[in-house]
Amino acid sequence: MRRFTETQKWDDQWFRELPGSHKLVFLYILDRCNNAGFWEVDLSALAFHTKLEAKHSDGAFKALERGLQGASGWVWVRNFLRHQKNDELNPANPAHRQIISLLREQSERFPESQIAISKGASKGLPSPIGKGKGKGKGKGKGNGKEWEPTPLQIRVGKLLGRRGSTKWSEKEIEALEALGDPAEEDMELLHEFYDAIIEPDQDHRRTALLTLLNNWNGEVDKARAFRLSNRHR
């Protein structure tokens, strides 16, 4: 997944004076948060990827309060949408519709984040999206024809045992479009993870396709950690 980065942050006195470990945590969250700037806190994945000890990451969260806000196991990057050139959300844009959906999911945790939803978005989303001939859309959507999923939809749907004949919702299609082309390594990790037998009290895999798509990076992190833990047994 490609994202914009604000190169001038290195000239910002606040960021410049942060310890290296704090900078690393901030950059990690920027890479792992979803398209609306929300990251479901996963300290084990953070420690695995950054090699930071818990005491360093704990201190980083406190020092980064200027740019981050935490609530109920989640973190919100306040200026994420602005730096990604998405501060003016357009509900006619499929990628923006997914962002609007992600923002609304977090309305109770982060009321301030709802300011990012434009007046046009608050009036509701247009329907249907279109004929669905795009890379991420199943053929036959909105044109009266029988549902025909794309190969990518079939492959992603199999993660949760979904049949190819099961029609995707508009929000699921938009979330996949916003995700782009998942890396082959990530797909293999997730299939290995979701095909594994895990004890119920230790099974934290996603059960809803939309939730999986909206938290794709975090789930890939879990899958990678799962593979490594099995290798060391």
Task: Kindly report which listed range (77-81, 110-114, 134-138) carries the lowest average pLDDT score.
Answer: 134-138
* Confidence category of residue 120, pLDDT binned at 50, 70, 90: very low
Q: Does the pLDDT at position 77 exceed 90? A: yes
Domain ranges of the chain: 7-83, 151-231
Three state DSSP letters for 23-53: HHHHHHHHHHCCCCCEEECCHHHHHHHHCCC
Q: What is the band of 90 on the pLDDT scale with cuts at 50, 70, 90?
A: confident
The 10s digit of each residue's pLDDT in 159-184 is 998 888 889 998 899 888 888 888 89
Whole-number pLDDT of residue 145: 59
With H, G, I as helix, E, B as strand and everything else as coil, classify residue 148. Answer: strand
Distances (CA, A) of 224 to 45, 75, 89, 171, 186: 9, 22, 33, 27, 9
For residue 146, the 8-state DSSP code is P
Q: Give 135-140 contacts, CB < 8 A, sequence gap 24+.
A: 135/177, 136/173, 136/176, 136/177, 137/173, 137/177, 138/167, 138/168, 138/173
C-beta separation of 44 from 202 below 8 A: no
CATH class entry, domain 7-83: mainly alpha
Query: What's the pLDDT at 230?
Result: 80
